[in-house]
A and B are shown apart, each in its own frame.
Chain A
Amino acid sequence: MALTSISFPEFFVAYILIFVLAQSGLFPSMARVDPETSWGEMAYRTFLPALTLTLVVTAHMMRMTRAAIINLLASPYIEMAQLKGMKPMRVILHHALPNAFAPIVTVVALNLAYLITGVVVVEVVFVYPGLGQLMVDSVSKRDIPVVQAVALLFAAAYVLLNLMADVLSTLSNPRLIHRT
């Protein structure tokens, strides 16, 4: 299931959401916001784009977390815990999770970094006046300075988030802190 949703392009997810949710009149399919728009109204209008990004990222997270935990579950101490007759839920929560925490934190930070690129497509679908839209417009007009500036902003955020992922994974793993 996660495998299926990870391979969907973002705009496919977005348009399916528009088709199902915006069709029935629940949510607006355009996320046009102005500075004057109130907070509640803003949240309401940006609900569909946010949901799209959430779905895409959830798929990524599930896949990466699964990969992180599947190796752990094969290790001897998990087998020991199972042989002791513990309930499966307790084995996962008390024995596997603390050790899987480091990879999961990294996954979350990496996914934030992934969002940086995902947001470009979603902004175009929902006509949200953001940086991604600005970048795409400038690329088709070949306005190089604007493209450079926006790319620099995105890249800086991306590098910082990746750095955060590295630092967090080091902090949550004592073996890496005490490495000489």
Chain B
Amino acid sequence: MNVLINLLWVAVAVVAAVAAGRLFLSVARILSRGRAEKLLRTAPVSAGFGMLVILIYVFVAVFAPLIAPFAEREIVGAQFLPWDATHLLGTDNLGRDMFSRLVYGARNTVGIAFATTALAFVLGAIPGLLAATVGSWLDQVLSRIVDVLMSIPSLIFSLLLLAIFGTSIVTLVLVIAVIDSTRVFRLARSVAMNIVVMDYIEAAKLRGEGLWRLIMREILPNAMAPLVAEFGLRFCFVFLTIAALSFLGVGIQPPTADWGSMVRDNAALITFGNVTPLLPAGAIALLTVAVNFVVDWMLDRASGLKE
């Protein structure tokens, strides 16, 4: 019986999500014009839902202090208070307001994940393009270094590095950026490999274009589509890694509000049949699903795999 009610809730959520996605798409189509409108017309409902969710997250992250009723680290009541009017989602294991921490968590977790992904792209894409363009020994050296880094599972490797360098936000960002940049390097290199052999690259070389200009003006614009899609996917993976590390207690350190550690701190409530600890985990899952939907649509558009 209980399972049936749960299933009903899932069905209601799916219907609501589809409706929200469709509504957002039609509103966006009315508001946009020109190229953006043409682009939005091809978007499926799932991509519309994804964009809507991402926009909501960005909005919450930017205006966190205005939305949250209490401060991030303020102890406002007894521990594990149930949901009521003042504490919308109750309080956590130290008596801090759960809803406020969820809102601030959007800022911390998503912000750190975004910074890490950006850093990973700078660290991965430029050497990748360079290796493909220059070739010869530079390609060999960089590729073998990346092979070595990739032969250790990423979560284990980041745990190892965090154990060596200690757990702070800066080391967390650096460690995950370095580990994830290897994947970016592989993609950037393989995409650029196919572009380097094109005729117009040859022409550009004969024109006497320098290495930097060749990469920035000729190769990068043509490798942009897969790299942008990879940025979305990478963001998901980085986000999940950070959440997993925080969950294990070695990522973002308390008292900073973070979704991974919030799940861990309040996990005791689950055994009493309370859904509150699932909310931060659900927030993580919802964002990754949303990003995946948008990326899927972009990949479809770029590759034309489905007719």
Contact = CB atoms under 8 A, between A and B. Distances in A.
Interface of A: 3-4, 6-12, 15-16, 18-20, 22-24, 29, 70-71, 113, 116-117, 120-121, 124-125, 135-136, 138-140, 142-144, 147-148, 150-151, 154-155, 158-159, 162
B156 A116 contact: yes
B248 A120 contact: yes
A29 B164 CA distance: 33
A147 B263 contact: no
A11 B281 contact: yes
B250 A4 contact: no
Nearest to B291: A7
A140 B6 contact: no
A121 B281 contact: no
Contacts of B230: none
Nearest to B6: A20
Given A3-B292, A124-B248, A135-B159, A158 B277 contact: no
Nearest to A14: B281
B174 interface: no
Nearest to B290: A7
A121 to B, nearest CB: 5
A71 B157 CA distance: 34
Give the residue among B2, B6, B163, B244 with the most A Cβ atoms within 10 A: B163
A162 B293 CA distance: 29
Interface residues of B, number: 43
B140 interface: no
A14 B249 CA distance: 17
Given A15-B278, A147-B160, A155-B151, A10 B271 contact: no
B289 interface: yes
Contacts of B88: none
18 contacts: A3-B296, A6-B292, A7-B240, A7-B291, A8-B289, A9-B281, A11-B244, A117-B153, A117-B156, A121-B247, A121-B248, A125-B267, A136-B250, A139-B250, A142-B163, A148-B160, A154-B156, A155-B153
A100 B243 CA distance: 35
Contacts of B2: 20, 24
A11 B263 contact: yes
A9 B248 CA distance: 12
B54 to A, nearest CB: 13
A9 B285 contact: yes
A142 B165 CA distance: 9
A124 B156 CA distance: 14
A151 B156 contact: yes
B304 to A, nearest CB: 11
Contacts of B289: 3-4, 7-8
Contact of B270 (A4, A18, A135, A148): A18
A8 B285 contact: yes
Interface string B150-193: 01111111011011101000000000000000000000000000
